[in-house]
């Protein structure tokens, strides 16, 4: 295998790793959003939700503020999209 081909293959592997990491991150954030929404629907406070989920209050507050825009249907994907825009 030539040097150029090896270098291209290494770049493709790095790109694949990056795509995988972003997918895992997106899935993790989506799961957190789903958990927060369940707690919101049960009328828990931001502080309570943060304690239950062991997440920073600032992060939970941000999710709840964005979620309010989509109440009562709560579009999880839109909430995630807004979360990711503010934290690339």
Q: Convert the pLDDT of each residue in 30-82 to its tens digit.
A: 999 999 999 999 999 999 999 999 999 999 999 999 999 998 889 999 999 99
Closest by CA position to 36, among listed 21, 12, 24, 54 = 54
Residue 1's pLDDT band, with cuts at 50, 70 and 90, is low
User: Model-level pTM?
Assistant: 0.80
How many structural domains are present in the chain? 1
Angle at 10 between CA 6 and CA 15, to 5 degrees: 150
Give the structural domain span for 56: 3-86
Assess whether pLDDT exceeds 80 at residue 3. Answer: no
């Amino acid at each position: 295998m030539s040097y150029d081909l090896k270098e291209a293959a290494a770049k493709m592997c790095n790109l694949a790793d990056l795509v995988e990491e972003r997918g895992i991150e997106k899935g993790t954030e989506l799961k957190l959003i789903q958990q927060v929404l369940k707690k919101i629907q049960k009328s828990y406070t931001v502080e309570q939700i943060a304690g239950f989920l062991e997440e920073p209050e600032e992060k939970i507050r941000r999710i709840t503020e964005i979620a309010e825009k989509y109440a009562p249907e709560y579009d999880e994907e839109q909430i995630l999209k807004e979360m990711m825009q503010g934290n690339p």
